[in-house]
Structure 1
């Protein structure tokens, strides 16, 4: 993944000019730093020590002393603390994360050694002789070479810095050969590196880098690359927003104290649409985050989706009775992807025009592309930093930083209070999916993260809804409707119009993807089936089975390993076999009849087509909305649903419990699914997340969580369980 996102080597002076231009305050500061007697003395001490050093350990002390002298004169609010962190295990950002950078420079203004990623501003990795690039400035790509390991180490550090700081891009340094170095710039589409330079003979480069990194234009406390639309609220502001929250009939009961509700709060600029004389007008608002982050994906080269629960400053200042609570979704969208707001607007317009009730459906109340300067509202931030510049496939694959406000706020499906509530939520998702399709929008990513319960609905009987249209696509009729209803957007939509090709792309979340869509991967594009509503309906079935095998008392002989056996990502044979099995739940329950009815529909949809001379059986029968609704309606109305069968927390068994090779493989698959799906249990600057990331497949390789850059496989090495799983998987495959 890192190799595919390498955007190239840039000569160091060009890099500093183009990717780190000087702040207005720089003036003659760099020359003053370089000439300062203490800096000169520290540089000479390093040179002397380097001549005797046998490994990187011999460089660390003098190198740190030199960097300390460089930043010594920075203003207190901008000055970092720089220290040796080779024996400091940073606090985990996610379960299984750990990392010990060689040298860490803190965030501005800190006066102690960083011990967690949210305290870190940049890192320096020391190597004795190793450079990641060869003499022709190409990445050394042998899997056994230490260069690849060094690159992965830098990429993981960059991912942790991005994740902890919410920055738009970050910088890390590789130092090697007792005086040589490279500076790396990482954003969410790729990375660049400088040419190798000798900082002992070119003494202006590191002072320039550190000064520009810690002294950008604007208020102190920020670093170059930080998101200038995010800030930390004051204690007074936290009190004000918490008092407003306490007037809400539901959220006043969610938190026991102001500390719990506001400990990790942020101010985030967003946009809400106001109605002015019947026209929709976007207005910049400040959103205050409440409690823990709802969900996030921490893949390095990805959408990096973050979802927060927020209350708006405007509503509090205007003393709105029971101020609305929104879900704020922050995404780095690829420029070639259609903005999600287009789908929400089309669905809402269809419902309005046809008098269709949107009860319970998700609604978008505001959306903005922070990287755009020529559309209202006029940006009050540096819009240039909110678009990446490292996409190796070209500018259309660079990422635009977007935000949107939604209601209702959701909570994960896996926290169902009863199996009937789970089934009802999926029923609601089917209804919402059908309404969207009637509007000409196909969702294409039904998953455990995209079917949610309303957070504020009755606990015993929560409402479900379908969310997340990032991977959606218009049908041909839907595109015609959109262009008719929103003619003002036509000029900016031309790049998105290849509907036929898009509907044949392999898109979705792997465990829940329909069998025919998974089969597309081995077919030429001309032979692929187009994504249809029947495939998303099949995903509803697989999602229900996933929940049963993970969070209920079922009778499958594989027990806790049943889910990993069924959803093995290596192929579709296990799913095809499952569709002929009897559902492993109590046959006396309505849940059994419901899942059996859905299973028969899925099995009929995936019959092998008759392509030979002899007709061997009936043709495949696509699932219809009516067929699925009929089954759900009948069983939800049936008596006998238990009331005491709330979700059971899922725990992965240890690899040590495997009795045979089949069980060992299932445990390995389960561990790797966990690594790539990233349930996002945060810490540090990111509070615990309740949502779930997912391994996505799409036309452009936009993978939210990939095995090399996603959560638990963090740090210089994989987490122990993932590392063991990969090793064992290799043995089994061989």
Structure 2
């Protein structure tokens, strides 16, 4: 099989897979304990007929080895009930594409053996990740076990991790499992969005009962109706769901959303307005995060399932509205985005300008933990079939006697232990319910007792947003782009007035209002994704400094200060001061993320868009975008951005208003960074304000000489322009010939090129 598909590190981001290696924890506990804690079941295990198991010979070559293993595993599960029996599928080296089309066809992963969903028997080999519930990676010898060595091999760990990621995307799993077969040894790999937990190796040919028990537990989950790790609030679409959704979309006459039955699903969303649960059909994903250990943000087009609602009857049919559903896993030390949205009041239209509105949604992990602690489990109990006490041990897996360690009975790492008898009884109620810990919030680090990494735990959010947008890169004219930037600045100002600082202005967090809905909203673009937002009530939009002497050892900053002192944002769009936080700390200063940092991010966003999607000229040449935004760390970013501000501003062909705007905005950002950090903090800086930035943008928009048709350039157009700009700024260099001569270029380009050459000399 091809190496580039067997080991995704060969073509995926190596940095991502190195992070995966750093978050793998091999648990030195008996495999039985691993199964009890991490693969819990509601059905008593029934031993199988091991005397009829076929022989497995790991030393033979492929494909005979995989076929032999498939026969062995199939015999293990042959006596399972038909609705719980999985099919073991020899993939024969077949590479499976990413679960969603938007992720492209270049990211292929090849599971050695696939495991079907319970009760399903797809044709062999499987063609999509949606047909599998688990993957098995196979090596010929125990010496190939990557977890039986001090230094984990990136490529060897990347393959099962990539399989786990694809399974989670395909089914909306909260946890996914991969089996690692290394000769006659087996390991159970459990992945969530914060780390991977690996069992001890065991000889499955001598102890097939352990492997069979794993499969038994796997297909008999305590919650959900498929496998352990499935989300009980997520369901595949039935045929009736598909027909209904397609009928509604046809009646809505929308051209933006198309139902993709292979990727679509049905989800439940809690609505705290009336303490009810609403059902939405996710039509197709708009974006999805590929990284496994991340926020795993996925954004969907969706419509609400109105069937069964009192307001929707055959004689009074109500068409659903197209909405956006966002699913993400936040770090538990950051505030929930749902909480931020709930802080945005139902203000009038002017106060909500440039901001989306939350239809419904919640932090599922936060709510589930609260209900779990009080014993009010949010899901119906399933039938249990245990003998005697069915409570789970609540001690960490890594140390059964470490009573002082943080255990799942106190989910938050900042939560103090119960002090009263009543509190203690309430906190222990969760053990009477199907799982030893909630599912929508990870507990991996706390279960293993590694509390120093508890901040890495994540909690799942599911939010429904009223505004349907499209990427900022879809602008039709550069004037529309600038108008969108202006509306986003106004939205940022409105959020700040409500006490919220965004802290992550970036290309992906600014959306244009969908053209089909443009008449429904007074703004052309809006700011979204408040994952990193925090409270701005103590900040001032008056140009005051955002640095102060570092906190002394006898004074601990409050939570808001600690968060605002953190380095947050998307590197290409970060303010220079945020890049230089380490420098400030070395000088004994504490730099707090402030309003002017976000406004500087707006400038870098505009420069990014101009470089990637317009015909621009700069003395750095056609590779200016790569030079400015292709830095490897924060130190280089800070240096390159500071040098950029001292260079002549960028010019845009046949677009005087945008060129003037970039020049004025560059001057303002240069003044924003004019102070030199020393022991007294930055000096002589004139910080950006909302009023100042809006004045620059509004005056540019009032110009009457904007081009009427200059949409975002496609890739081919950018490459063609790049070839011409090389000749204009560097006439001695050769360029590809595309059938056009310099005389065909507009004379305005030649004027700009001559001006740039004069500046360069």
What TM-score results when the alignment is normalised by the length of structure 1?
A: 0.75
3-state SS, counterpart of residue 238 of structure 1: helix
What is the match of residue 435 of structure 1? 494
In the alignment, structure 1 residue 548 sits paired with structure 2 residue 552: no
In the alignment, structure 1 residue 12 sits paired with structure 2 residue 35: no
CA contact (8 A) 1:429 1:451 kept: yes
Distance in structure 1 (CA, Å) of the matches to 2:143 and 2:161: 15
TM-fit CA distance, 1:519? 1.2
TM-fit CA distance, 1:101? 2.1
What is the match of residue 518 of structure 1? 579
- 5+ residue gaps, structure 1, are 275-280, 480-494, 661-734
What is the match of residue 698 of structure 1? none
Matches within 5 A, 1:233-632: 233-248=237-252, 251-254=253-256, 260=259, 264-274=263-273, 281-290=274-283, 292-314=284-306, 317=309, 318-319=311-312, 321-348=318-345, 351=347, 357-371=351-365, 372-373=367-368, 374=370, 379-380=378-379, 384-391=438-445, 393-455=452-514, 456-458=516-518, 463-477=524-538, 498-524=559-585, 526-556=588-618, 561-570=623-632, 571-572=636-637, 573-579=639-645, 580-586=647-653, 588-609=655-676, 611=678, 619-632=684-697
Relative distance call for 1:653 and 1:23 in structure 2 (3 A) is farther
Distance in structure 1 (CA, Å) of the matches to 2:60 and 2:584: 55
Distance in structure 1 (CA, Å) of the matches to 2:345 and 2:355: 10
Paired residue total? 603
3-state SS, counterpart of residue 213 of structure 1: helix
Distance in structure 2 (CA, Å) of the matches to 1:225 and 1:639: 58
3-state SS, counterpart of residue 194 of structure 2: coil
Residue of 224, 230, 233 corresponding to 1:226: 230
- 1:13-66 per-residue CA deviation (whole Å, 9 max, x = no partner) reads 110111112332x442xx23435x2x2xx0xx22xx35xx26676643321210
3-state SS, counterpart of residue 449 of structure 1: helix
What is the match of residue 211 of structure 1? 216
TM-fit CA distance, 1:267? 0.8
- 1:325-351 per-residue CA deviation (whole Å, 9 max, x = no partner) reads 3211111122222111222232326x4
Residue of 119, 125, 129 corresponding to 1:117: 129
CA contact (8 A) 1:386 1:400 kept: yes
TM-fit CA distance, 1:300? 0.7
CA contact (8 A) 1:457 1:463 kept: no
Distance in structure 2 (CA, Å) of the matches to 1:86 and 1:521: 51
- 5+ residue gaps, structure 2, are 1-18, 381-433, 541-555, 727-761
3-state SS, counterpart of residue 206 of structure 1: helix
Relative distance call for 1:364 and 1:496 in structure 2 (3 A) is farther
Distance in structure 2 (CA, Å) of the matches to 1:592 and 1:407: 35
Distance in structure 2 (CA, Å) of the matches to 1:416 and 1:328: 23
3-state SS, counterpart of residue 105 of structure 1: strand
3-state SS, counterpart of residue 121 of structure 1: strand
3-state SS, counterpart of residue 159 of structure 2: helix
Distance in structure 1 (CA, Å) of the matches to 2:138 and 2:262: 35
3-state SS, counterpart of residue 529 of structure 2: coil
What is the match of residue 431 of structure 2? none
Distance in structure 2 (CA, Å) of the matches to 1:496 and 1:168: 35
CA contact (8 A) 2:113 2:135 kept: yes
Relative distance call for 1:212 and 1:457 in structure 2 (3 A) is same
CA contact (8 A) 2:539 2:594 kept: no
- 1:547-606 per-residue CA deviation (whole Å, 9 max, x = no partner) reads 111111222466663322210232122222222332131365211111111111111112
Distance in structure 2 (CA, Å) of the matches to 1:369 and 1:33: 45
3-state SS, counterpart of residue 470 of structure 2: strand
What is the match of residue 155 of structure 1? 161
3-state SS, counterpart of residue 384 of structure 1: coil
Relative distance call for 1:497 and 1:226 in structure 2 (3 A) is farther
Relative distance call for 1:439 and 1:132 in structure 2 (3 A) is farther
Q: Structure 1 stretch 110-119 or stretch 327-336: which is displaced more?
A: 110-119
Q: Structure 1 stretch 85-94 or stretch 426-435: which is displaced more?
A: 85-94
Distance in structure 1 (CA, Å) of the matches to 2:557 and 2:674: 34
Distance in structure 2 (CA, Å) of the matches to 1:6 and 1:69: 31
3-state SS, counterpart of residue 288 of structure 1: strand
Relative distance call for 1:636 and 1:23 in structure 2 (3 A) is same
What TM-score results when the alignment is normalised by the length of structure 2?
A: 0.73
Distance in structure 2 (CA, Å) of the matches to 1:405 and 1:332: 15
CA contact (8 A) 1:273 1:366 kept: yes
Matches within 5 A, 1:74-113: 74-93=80-99, 94-95=103-104, 96-108=106-118, 109-112=120-123, 113=125
Distance in structure 1 (CA, Å) of the matches to 2:109 and 2:706: 48
What is the match of residue 182 of structure 1? 187
Structure showing greater radius of gyration is 2
CA contact (8 A) 1:441 1:474 kept: yes
Q: Structure 1 stretch 329-338 or stretch 454-463: which is displaced more?
A: 454-463
Matches within 5 A, 1:127-138: 127-130=139-142
In the alignment, structure 1 residue 34 sits paired with structure 2 residue 50: yes
3-state SS, counterpart of residue 385 of structure 1: coil
CA contact (8 A) 2:584 2:591 kept: no
CA contact (8 A) 1:171 1:183 kept: yes
TM-fit CA distance, 1:465? 0.6
Distance in structure 2 (CA, Å) of the matches to 1:150 and 1:254: 41
Distance in structure 2 (CA, Å) of the matches to 1:149 and 1:111: 29
Residue of 3, 28, 41 corresponding to 1:22: 41
Matches within 5 A, 1:41-60: 42=54, 45-46=55-56, 49-50=57-58, 53=59, 59-60=65-66
TM-fit CA distance, 1:126? 1.9
Relative distance call for 1:561 and 1:610 in structure 2 (3 A) is closer
Distance in structure 1 (CA, Å) of the matches to 2:439 and 2:328: 14
TM-fit CA distance, 1:89? 1.6
Relative distance call for 1:313 and 1:260 in structure 2 (3 A) is closer
Distance in structure 1 (CA, Å) of the matches to 2:157 and 2:465: 38
Distance in structure 1 (CA, Å) of the matches to 2:142 and 2:572: 40
Distance in structure 2 (CA, Å) of the matches to 1:192 and 1:32: 27
Distance in structure 1 (CA, Å) of the matches to 2:223 and 2:155: 37
Relative distance call for 1:131 and 1:388 in structure 2 (3 A) is farther
TM-fit CA distance, 1:608? 4.6
Relative distance call for 1:243 and 1:127 in structure 2 (3 A) is closer
TM-fit CA distance, 1:263? 5.9
